[in-house]
Amino acid sequence: MCGIVGYIGKRDSQGILLGGLKKLEYRGYDSAGVAIHTKTGLELRKSKGRISELETRLEAQPLSGFAGIGHTRWATHGKPSDANSHPHTDNEMNISVVHNGIIENHLQLKAELEQLGYRFVSETDTEVISHLIAHHYKGDLPEAVRKAVSHLRGAYAIAVLSAHEPDKLIAVRWASPLIIGVGEGENFIGSDIPAILEHTRSVYILNDGEMAVLTRDNVELMTLEGNFIAKQLLRIEWDFVMAEKGGYDTFMLKEIHEQPRAYRDTMRGRLLEGTGISFPGTSLSARQIRGVKHIHIVACGTAYHAALIGKQVIERLTRIPVEVDLASEYRYRMPVIGANTLVIAVSQSGETADTLAAMREAKLAGARVLAITNVIGSSVAREADDILFTHAGPEIAVASTKAYSSQLIAFYMLGLFMARSLNTIDRAALTEMIAMLERLPYQVERLLEDKESIRRIAERISGREHLFFIGRGLDYSLAMEASLKLKEISYIHSEAYAAGELKHGSLALIEEGTPVIALATQELLLEKTASNIKEVKARGAYVIALTLEGNEELEKTADQVIYVPRTYSLFTPSVAVVPLQLLAYYAASIRGHDVDKPRNLAKSVTVE
């Protein structure tokens, strides 16, 4: 995710802003920039690439001033470029803004502002904010910011610096975190604690709909209606390493907890008032969908497991036949690709060599390629014909968690969009499914409240060297992901098996105490999976079942039961994956492994 830092005080701000941005580097970014109020007014330095490039630019043309804002950008709208880097300004260079989040209605606001004569110089959603503030400025900066944000729909944490009132910094939070650091004769804004920890440990945490007006000696907190509020000043006791991980022990645990936000961001602006799905910014049209006769999905690792679920989602909703291939196999198996084949490449990083090679192969054969990726400006994004970005934010842990589940959300939306285009789903059913999609982040939040029970189960399996995951249909695909997650970080050998297939050979491996994790979330297959549970139980397996709330029947056979909330059957993997990620996580930490950096693995696999 993007990072924000702001400073107002008695010291020169350039070094403080750069220092703060460097502390946010670990979060991942593609460009950086600062705006400082200097003797001549607002001045900006921005640069695509590393902070060191911004630093070089600042060395050549330093900025001096006591108030400034800075930003590390993780692109969501518009490729990484100098022009798209923050801060953004109005046309008169009076207002500068840095922003984290996504403005859903930016296209509409942009059109309205252009009608009023405002000129846009970037492809970002953020730029509307600086023009809106300029438009509403009538001598009162906080008032102009309040009016401007009243037009915004979406998520935003913003910091504003204006040449009109250079003795103030304004911060506003809506659905994207923002904190205010309080110092002696100086105050700070940060999207995260590490950005300001070097300077102060006293912070206000803004809630949604709150605004802060910072001067050198004061911080005023108010609602977006302009009512002053009192807040407790908190003391941060975390050390820097803890602060980087948001207080979690590892990035993986942090990223597991970020899933509700990642789901919301991936859906943001794409679910239309409960009645439809649209992908603004992508050229994928209903007409193109109607021309598609076959779909091939190519991906590697965890993304491949998301693709296996994507296949079932698309086939069930549209009846278009879908094949899923490991990207490393696809390119060498001479796939039959026609002009009416849509190839979907799925990749978190957008840089996986095999996935790139597979999509190039498909393009050469004349297919249209749709990418599902998390990284704007990545090779996969650049080479695809259409792109559906997941907005999971940067994933740092090698083991993919929030990127996988956001890929599922992308497939759900894509499946529904295709189904609507093909008329294979009616409006009422679509409305119902959209409502269920919107509930998913809340259901995941609820699941994350009870980590302790999963940790206890992890204790039980962490000493074992082999175990099985079994499931049918979507649960089988999910079992493959659960098994990979466990292997990758705990180094426990596990196999995912289609529950009905065990008796054709692998049942021979089940002996007294062998852990079998049985996924039984699909109502229609429940009885069948229950019989398979009995099969392994009869051979001495220790069975941990994962099923939907209300299916207490399984308690009679399984040794332990994990419950997940009910949703539309196709959406269940996006809730059921959470306890499975936690299980892998706790098993690995109990075994004392470096969970974020498992042995032999890299985050991005750029070689064949």
Compute the chain's Rg from CA coordinates.
Answer: 25
Min dist CB 164 to ligand M6R, Å, is 45
Q: Are 543 and 446 in contact (CB under 8 A)?
A: no
Please, how many CA atoms are within 13 Å of residue 590, restricted to the half-sphere of its CB? Answer: 19
Indicate which single residue of 14, 72, 162, 400 sits in contact with ligand M6R (rule: CB under 6 A).
Answer: 400
Min dist CB 300 to ligand M6R, Å, is 4
Other CB atoms within 10 Å distance of the CB of residue 37: 25
Nearest alpha carbon to residue 307 among 145, 76, 478, 504: 478
For ligand M6R, what does the binding mask look like between residues 264 and 303, x meaning CB under 6 A?
------------------------------------xxxx
Which residue, 3 or 350, is less far from ligand M6R as judged by CB? 350
Q: How far is CA 102 from CA 124, 309, 567, in A?
A: 9, 27, 26
Which residue, 460 or 591, is less far from ligand M6R as judged by CB? 591
Using DSSP bridges, classify how beta strands 386-389 and 466-471 pair: parallel, antiparallel or unpaired.
Answer: unpaired
- The single residue of 2, 300, 402, 485 carrying the catalytic annotation is 2
Min dist CB 526 to ligand M6R, Å, is 29
Q: How far is CA 242 from CA 13, 72, 236, 600, in A?
A: 26, 20, 11, 25
Q: Residues 475, 478, 484, 490: what is their CA dihedral angle, to the nearest 10 degrees?
A: -80
Count of residues that bind ligand M6R according to CB under 6 A? 15
Nearest alpha carbon to residue 288 among 335, 334, 320, 325: 320
Q: Which helix (H) or strand (E) holds 141?
A: helix 141-149
Does 398 engage in binding with ligand M6R (CB under 6 A)? yes
Q: Are 200 and 190 in contact (CB under 8 A)?
A: no
Min dist CB 252 to ligand M6R, Å, is 9
Min dist CB 608 to ligand M6R, Å, is 12
Integer Cα distance of 307 and 111 in angstroms: 37
- Indicate the residue type of 389: F
Min dist CB 400 to ligand M6R, Å, is 4
Integer Cα distance of 569 and 315 in angstroms: 14
Residue 369: both structure tokens together: 């390629």
Min dist CB 403 to ligand M6R, Å, is 6
- Indicate the residue type of 499: A
Does 312 engage in binding with ligand M6R (CB under 6 A)? no
> First and final CA of the chain: distance in angstroms?
29
Min dist CB 346 to ligand M6R, Å, is 7
Whether 2 is a known active-site residue: answer: yes
Which residue, 197 or 300, is less far from ligand M6R as judged by CB? 300
Q: Which residue is nearest to ligand M6R (CB)?
A: 301
- The single residue of 528, 537, 597, 603 carrying the catalytic annotation is 603
Integer Cα distance of 6 and 86 in angstroms: 13
Q: Are 282 and 386 in contact (CB under 8 A)?
A: yes
Site for ligand M6R in 342-371 (CB under 6 A): 347-349, 352, 355
Most distant CA pair in the chain: distance in Å? 81
Burial grade of 91 (CB within 10 A; 0-12, 13-18, 19 or more): middle
Q: Are 152 and 174 in contact (CB under 8 A)?
A: yes
Q: How far is CA 563 from CA 101, 151, 566, in A?
A: 32, 41, 9
41 Cβ contact list (under 8 Å, min separation 6): 93, 94, 163
Does 253 engage in binding with ligand M6R (CB under 6 A)? no
Min dist CB 396 to ligand M6R, Å, is 12
Does 605 engage in binding with ligand M6R (CB under 6 A)? yes
Please, how many CA atoms are within 13 Å of residue 349, restricted to the half-sphere of its CB? Answer: 19
Interface residues with ligand M6R (CB under 6 A)?
A: 300-303, 347-349, 352, 355, 398-400, 488, 604-605
Catalytic site residues?
Answer: 2, 603
